[in-house]
C-alpha cells in the first residue's frame, strides 16, 4: 500500500492503524474494528467479481479475496453503526459493493462511449498527479462543502467503476461520460467515497486537505459520542 495514504492522514491529525487481513476470523477483525474511530479504505487491486455474482471478465486483474472480505465487513459494520468511512478509488468500489451495488469490470470493454479513465503511471507515462478529466460535484453534498459544487479536475488511475449504485447511497460526483466518481450515504452519517486519488494531490491542494480533514473531524466526533455513551452506561 502506498505510503502516501498514511502521510495524507497523519498530515491532518489522524493516527492510522493498519488492519491485518483477518476477515476469516471475524471475532478478531471485529475486536480491531471496535477500537477504530473511522474506517479509511485505500486504492489497490481489482475486486473479485464473485463478490457481486459475476464471472470474471478477461480484463479483470488479480484480486485479493482476503482483503475483499475484510473491507466489505468493515464497511457494513461501519454503515450499520454510523462510524465514519472514507474510500479512495478501490475504496469507493468496496463501499458500493457493501451496499449491494455492482461494478464495471473493465470500462473500455463494458462502457461503450466512455472517456479514458486508466491513466496509470506505469513506465512513467503519466504522473500520478496528472489531472486527467473533470468531474461534476453535486450541490448540497459533503464534496461540495469541501471542493465547491460544479467542475473539478481530478487524476484518474482506474479501469473499473460503479455500474449500479448501491442502496442508501447517492452519486455526488460524475465524470463527463456519466460514470459515478463520488458517493455519499443518505442517512446523514459520514460515508464518502471518491474514484480519484486525492492522497497524491494533498500537498498542492487546500480543498483536498479539507477532504481528509473532514473525515478525521467526523471520526473525532464519533469517538466523543461513543465515549459519552459508554460513560453513561458505566454510571
- Catalytic residue positions? 89, 197, 199
List Cα–Cα distances, 169 to 27, 152, 198, in angstroms: 28, 21, 21
- List all residues 6 or more positions away from 33 whose beta carbon is below 8 Å from its beta carbon: 39, 73, 74, 77, 78
| 84 close to 189: Cβ distance less than 8 angstroms | yes
Q: What is the distance between the alpha carbons of residues 168 and 64, in angstroms, rounded to a whole number? A: 26
Q: Are strands 102-104 and 85-88 parallel, antiparallel or unpaired?
A: unpaired
Q: From 169, 176, 125, 170, select the one nearest 153 (Cα to Cα).
A: 176
Helix intervals (H) in the chain: 3-11, 26-34, 65-81, 90-98, 107-110, 142-147, 206-234
Q: What is the distance between the alpha carbons of residues 33 and 221, in angstroms, rounded to a whole number? A: 17
List beta partners, residue 184: 170, 192
Amino acid at each position: 500500500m502506498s505510503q502516501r495514504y498514511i502521510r495524507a492522514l497523519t498530515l491532518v491529525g489522524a493516527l492510522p492503524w493498519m488492519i491485518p487481513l483477518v476477515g476469516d476470523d471475524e471475532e478478531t477483525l471485529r475486536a480491531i474494528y471496535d477500537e477504530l474511530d473511522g474506517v479509511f479504505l485505500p486504492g489497490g487491486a481489482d475486486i473479485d467479481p464473485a463478490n457481486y455474482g459475476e464471472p470474471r471478465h478477461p480484463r479483470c486483474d488479480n484480486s485479493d479475496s482476503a482483503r475483499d472480505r475484510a473491507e466489505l465487513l468493515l464497511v457494513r459494520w461501519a454503515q450499520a453503526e454510523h462510524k465514519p468511512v472514507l474510500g479512495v478509488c478501490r475504496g469507493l468500489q468496496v463501499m458500493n459493493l457493501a451496499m449491494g451495488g455492482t461494478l464495471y469490470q473493465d470500462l473500455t470493454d463494458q462502457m461503450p462511449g466512455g472517456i479514458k479513465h486508466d491513466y496509470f503511471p506505469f513506465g512513467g507515462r503519466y504522473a500520478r498527479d496528472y489531472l486527467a478529466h473533470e468531474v461534476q460535484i453535486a450541490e448540497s453534498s459533503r464534496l461540495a462543502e469541501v471542493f465547491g459544487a460544479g467542475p473539478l479536475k481530478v487524476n484518474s488511475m482506474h479501469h473499473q467503476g460503479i455500474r449500479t449504485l448501491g442502496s442508501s447511497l447517492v452519486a455526488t460526483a460524475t465524470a463527463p461520460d456519466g460514470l459515478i466518481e463520488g458517493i455519499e450515504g443518505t442517512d446523514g452519517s459520514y460515508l464518502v467515497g471518491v474514484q480519484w486519488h486525492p492522497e497524491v494531490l494533498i500537498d498542492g491542494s487546500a480543498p483536498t486537505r479539507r477532504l481528509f480533514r473532514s473525515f478525521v473531524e467526523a471520526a473525532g466526533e464519533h469517538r466523543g459520542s461513543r465515549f459519552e455513551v459508554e460513560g453513561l452506561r458505566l454510571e
